[in-house]
Structure 1
Amino acid sequence: MRTDHDVAVIGAGPIGCAAAIAFAQRGETVLLLEANPRASERFAGEWIHPSGVRILEKLGLSDLAALTENGPRRGFVAHPGDGSEPIVLSYPDGMTGVSFEHHKLVDELRRRAVSMPEIDYVAPAKLSKLEPAPAYVDGDTGAEIAIKAKRIVAADGRRSGTRRLLGLPDGSVGISFMAGIVLDDVELPVEGYGHVLSGLAGPILSYRIGANQVRLCLDVPASATELRHDTNALYAAVAPALPAPMATALAVSLKTRKPAWMETRFQTRTAYGRGNVALVGDAVGCTHPLTAVGISLGLKDVEALVESADTADYARRQKARARVPEMLSNALYQVFSDPRYDARAIRQSMFDTWRTSAAERRRTMALLAATDVRGSTFATSFFRIGFRAARKTVGTEMREGHWSRTRQTLARFASWSTWPIAGLLPGYRKIPAHLKAAGH
C-alpha cells in the first residue's frame, strides 16, 4: 500500500465511498478508512432523490444492483389520514429517484472503490488525531500510522470524530425516535413511489427495499418510551394509519423481528471544515429522515468538493445550496408532527393545495428532489399553503362567533409566517424553537 496519498477519506459509507471514487476518477490517489465495517448494517438512509441520482450517473455508479433491482422511484404518495384519496406527487420532468437496502448499497460501493487501483482501503481503522500531524489507528495491529495526504475528507457521520478533532462543536439536537421495520410479501398502495402517512404517534414513511420487502419507518416522539419497548403498543398506535395489508404485515413482522431504532437528530449545515479538512454528508449536518434528503445532500457535497479549489471555496458553494433543503425538511416535519390546531390546519391546507394544483405539486417535488434550491420557490409554496390555512380557520371562527379566539389564532398563524420570510432572506436559516435547545 502507498504511504503517501492525494486524499484521505474518513468513513466508507455511501458518501465516503462516493467521495473516494470521485477523487480517484480524477487520477488522485486515495486512502479510504473505515472504523467499523459493520456499521453499514444499521438502519440508515435508503432513498436518493433525482439530484443525487444525477451525481451517481456522472460517477458511473447508477448501474449498481442495489439501485436498479427495485426499479425507479417516481416520487411520493401522501395519505392524509382522513379517509380521502391518497395524493400522488411525482417528480417533475420524468425525473426519478431510487430506494434500496442500506447495507447492500454500501457493500457494492465498497467493492467498486476497492477495485480501483487509485484507492487503498483500510478497515478497521480509526482517525486518532489531526494535530500536529494526522494519523489513524489500525484496528488489527493497534499501531498508529501517519496519514500523508494533501486533503482530508470526513464522511464519518453525524457523530463525526473528525469534526470533534477539528474543535467544531456538536450542536446536534435530538428530535424523535424512528423504528425501521421490514414488511415481507406486501404491496404498496402505489408501486414505484414512496409513501408518507399521517400516523397517530407521528409521521410514517414507507418504500420498497427489495422485490419482496418494504421498509416501514415509524416516527415516535422522544417522550413515548412505551412505544419503543412494547411492540403491542407500537402496533396499536401505528396500525390504524396503515392500509389493511400493510397493517397485517406489520403484525407478522413485529412477532418475528425487533424494530431497528435510531434517534433522529438535527444539526444545521453551516460548518464544512477547516484548512485542508473538509466535512461531507452527515458530518456537516443532518435533518429529520422524513424528507429522505440526507444521502442526496451528501452526494451534492461530494460534487461541490471535487469541483472546489479548497475547503473555503467548497463551504461557500454548499452553504447556499443546502439552506432550502434543510428548511424544507424542518418545515415538513413540523407540519406533519405538531399536534396543535394551527399545524393541523396547515397540514390540511397542504393536502388540499396538492390535490387541486398541479403547479404546486410540481413546485413541492422540485424542492424535495433538491433540483430547485431557490428560497423564493420555498417562500411562494409555504406562503400559499399557510395563507389558505389561516384564511379558512379564521373565517370559520368569525362565522361561528368565536371572536375572542380569533386574535390568538392570528398570532399562531403569524408565527408560521417566518418560514416564507426566511426563504426570501439569503443566508438566513430558519430553525424551529424546539431545535435550538440542547439535545434530549
Structure 2
Amino acid sequence: MIGAGPIGCAAAIAFARHGATVLLLESNPRASERFAGEWIHPSGVQSLERLGLGALEAITENGPRRGFVVHPEDGSEPIVLPYPDGMTAASFDHGELVSELRRKAAALPGIDYVTPARLTRLSPAPAYFDSNSGAEIQINAARIVAADGRRSGTRRLLGLGDGSVGISIMGGIVLNDVDLPAEGYGHVMSGGPGPIMVYRIGANKVRMCLDIPPSAAGLRRDTAALHDAVAPVLPAGMAKAFAVSLKARKPAWMETRFQTRTEYGRGNVALVGDAVGCTHPLTAIGISLGLMDVEALLDSADVADYARHRRTAARVPEMLSNALYQVFSENSYDTVAIRRSMYDAWRTSAAERRRTMGLLAATDLRGRSFATSFFRIGFTAARRTVGREARAGHWRGARHALSAFASWSTWPLAGLIPGYRKIPAHLTAPRAGRPG
C-alpha cells in the first residue's frame, strides 16, 4: 500500500481485515498536516461503515452534517439544501482523521507500517527506499495499491505521468469561536474573488476555504487586500472572526487541479483516490470517491475489472464537480444567468433540491439525473436571456446569447452519452463576451 493518508489507511485496514498481509508505506508522515479534504459525503460515510470504520472519533465527534446552505451573491435569502432521505455527511480536522487511521492501521497485526519510505521502482521487481535504514528493499507483492495523491509517484512509475491542469488557488484558514449561520451544514458563499466554503471541523474550530482565480494570485501575499475582498460577503460574526484569524496567521494555500478519472492502474498495480484523478474541491467529493474506490477494489477480481466499474461510477460526480465550479466561479453573462436560474430552481422545486443533493452526495450516479437537472436550469436561463434581448429588439444580442448558451448544451448531453467526460470550458477555451 503506497500512501498512508485517509484513503491509503482505509484501504490497508480493509485489506488486512480481509486476510491480506499489508505493507503500508508513507514517504512524508507530515503531509497530513497540510490543508486537505475535510468533508465526507453520505456515499463516503456509507463506505466507511461497510469497511468497518464508521465509528472513527474524528468523524463522529462533530455530529452529522445534513447538507449545504448556499448564500447568493445578491444578498437574498440563503438556500438550504439538505441531503435526501435523512442521509448525513461528516466533517473533521484532516490531521486528526489521518492520525487516528494511522494508529488503527499500525495496531493491526496484518499491517507493517513503514515511514518515511517511498516506492522507487516497479520493475523488474518492486522496491522501496527505507529512510531509516538507508536501504532499498525489494517487495514481493501480489498486488500494489497506490493512494499517493494527485502527484502520484506510482502513477509516474507506471508511465501514466501527470496530465492534470491547474484551475485556481485555494486558501484554508481556521476561524475560532464562531457560530455558523446554520449549524450542521456546510456553507457556500458567492460574491468574493471566487466561491467560499465554510464548515465546522471541531467544537471551537471552523474551516474557511477561499478560492481565488490565478489572475488574483497576489491576494495570497496581501492579507489586507484579501480581507477587503472576502469580508463583505461574510456574515458579520464570521467576518470579525476572519479578521482576527488573518492577524494571527496567513491561510495555507494550495493549487487546485483537474485530472479526469480514467486511469485506474495497470497489471497488478491499482490506483485509488486522487492518484486516479482529481476535481476542484468545491463539491468536496475527493475523499468519498477514494473510499468508493477502495470498496470497488476489494470486490474486484483484478485491476482491469476494478477499472471498468469505476470509470462508469465516477463519471457523474466528476462532471457535477466541474459544472458546479464553472457555474459558481465565472461571471460571464451566460454563467450568471445559469447561476440565477439554479438559485430559482432550488428555491421553488423540492424535486430539484433532492436531485441536486443526491448527485452531490454521490448516491445518485445516473447520467440522466445530471442531464435532467442541467437541461432544466440551462434551458430556463437561455429562454429568459434570449427572450429579454428579443423583446427589446436586440436581435444581434439574441443571436449572440443563443451562441453563448449553445456551449452549455453539451453538459446535459454528456450526462446521456455513456463514456462522455466533459472538461470544464474555462480550462480549454476563453468565454464569449456579453451580447451587444
- Shorter-normalised TM-score: what interval? over 0.9
1:400 Cα deviation (Å)?
A: 2.1
Distance 2:156 2:122 in 1: 10
TM-score (norm 2): 0.97
1:395 Cα deviation (Å)?
A: 1.5
1:139-158 equivalence runs, <5 A? 139-158=131-150
Distance 1:333 1:47 in 2: 17
Which residue of the partner structure matches residue 203 of structure 1? Answer: 195
Which residue of the partner structure matches residue 253 of structure 1? Answer: 245
Q: Which amino acid aligns with 2:392?
A: E
- Residues 352-408 of structure 1, C-alpha deviation per residue, up to 9 Å, x if partnerless? 000000000000000000001110000000000001111111111122222220000
1:224 Cα deviation (Å)?
A: 1.1
TM-score (norm 1): 0.96
Distance 2:120 2:428 in 1: 30
Distance 2:308 2:92 in 1: 32
Which residue of the partner structure matches residue 218 of structure 1? Answer: 210
Asked whether the 8 Å contact 2:326–2:426 carries over to 1, the reply is: no
Asked if 1:78 is matched to 2:70, the reply is: yes
Asked whether the 8 Å contact 2:169–2:217 carries over to 1, the reply is: no
Which residue of the partner structure matches residue 6 of structure 1? Answer: none
Asked if 1:300 is matched to 2:315, the reply is: no
Q: Which amino acid aligns with 1:315?
A: A
Q: Which amino acid aligns with 1:377?
A: S
Which residue of the partner structure matches residue 394 of structure 1? Answer: 386
1:432 Cα deviation (Å)?
A: 2.1
1:37-52 equivalence runs, <5 A? 37-52=29-44
Which residue of the partner structure matches residue 416 of structure 2? Answer: 424
Which residue of the partner structure matches residue 68 of structure 1? Answer: 60
Distance 2:346 2:284 in 1: 19
Which residue of the partner structure matches residue 257 of structure 2? Answer: 265
Distance 1:225 1:353 in 2: 33
SS at match of 2:69: strand
Distance 2:182 2:73 in 1: 16
Asked if 1:313 is matched to 2:282, the reply is: no
Which residue of the partner structure matches residue 28 of structure 1? Answer: 20
1:61 Cα deviation (Å)?
A: 1.2
Asked whether the 8 Å contact 1:77–1:87 carries over to 2, the reply is: yes
1:436 Cα deviation (Å)?
A: 4.6
Asked if 1:192 is matched to 2:184, the reply is: yes
Q: Which amino acid aligns with 1:149?
A: A
Distance 2:306 2:7 in 1: 16
Asked whether the 8 Å contact 2:272–2:294 carries over to 1, the reply is: yes
Distance 1:116 1:55 in 2: 20
1:434 Cα deviation (Å)?
A: 3.6
Q: Which amino acid aligns with 2:33?
A: E
- Residues 220-244 of structure 1, C-alpha deviation per residue, up to 9 Å, x if partnerless? 0012122111001111111111111
Q: Which amino acid aligns with 2:427?
A: L
SS at match of 2:215: coil
1:433 Cα deviation (Å)?
A: 3.6
Distance 2:301 2:90 in 1: 31
Distance 2:154 2:255 in 1: 21
Distance 2:185 2:195 in 1: 17
SS at match of 1:216: strand
Distance 1:220 1:25 in 2: 42
SS at match of 1:335: helix
Which residue of the partner structure matches residue 10 of structure 1? Answer: 2
Which residue of the partner structure matches residue 92 of structure 1? Answer: 84
Distance 2:114 2:11 in 1: 15
Asked whether the 8 Å contact 2:196–2:211 carries over to 1, the reply is: yes
Asked if 1:138 is matched to 2:130, the reply is: yes
Asked if 1:281 is matched to 2:273, the reply is: yes
| RMSD (Å) for aligned C-alpha atoms | 0.9
Distance 2:94 2:66 in 1: 19
1:248 Cα deviation (Å)?
A: 0.6
Which residue of the partner structure matches residue 244 of structure 1? Answer: 236
SS at match of 2:20: coil
Which residue of the partner structure matches residue 125 of structure 1? Answer: 117
Residue of structure 1 aligned with 2:108, choices 113, 116, 124: 116
Asked whether the 8 Å contact 2:44–2:287 carries over to 1, the reply is: yes
Change in Cα spacing, 1:311 to 1:203, as seen in structure 2 (3 Å) is same
Asked if 1:354 is matched to 2:307, the reply is: no
Residue of structure 1 aligned with 2:355, choices 341, 345, 363: 363
Greater Cα shift, 288-297 or 389-398: 389-398
Distance 1:64 1:264 in 2: 28
Q: Which amino acid aligns with 1:180?
A: G
Change in Cα spacing, 1:78 to 1:297, as seen in structure 2 (3 Å) is same
SS at match of 2:99: helix
SS at match of 1:334: helix
- Residues 194-232 of structure 1, C-alpha deviation per residue, up to 9 Å, x if partnerless? 001103200000100000110000000012122111001
Q: Which amino acid aligns with 1:380?
A: T
Q: Which amino acid aligns with 2:298?
A: V
* Structure 2: unaligned runs, 5 residues or longer: 430-436
Asked whether the 8 Å contact 2:72–2:191 carries over to 1, the reply is: no
- Residues 46-92 of structure 1, C-alpha deviation per residue, up to 9 Å, x if partnerless? 00000000011112212111101110000000111212110000000
Distance 1:323 1:83 in 2: 34
Asked whether the 8 Å contact 1:173–1:436 carries over to 2, the reply is: no
Distance 2:311 2:428 in 1: 19
Identity fraction in percent: 76
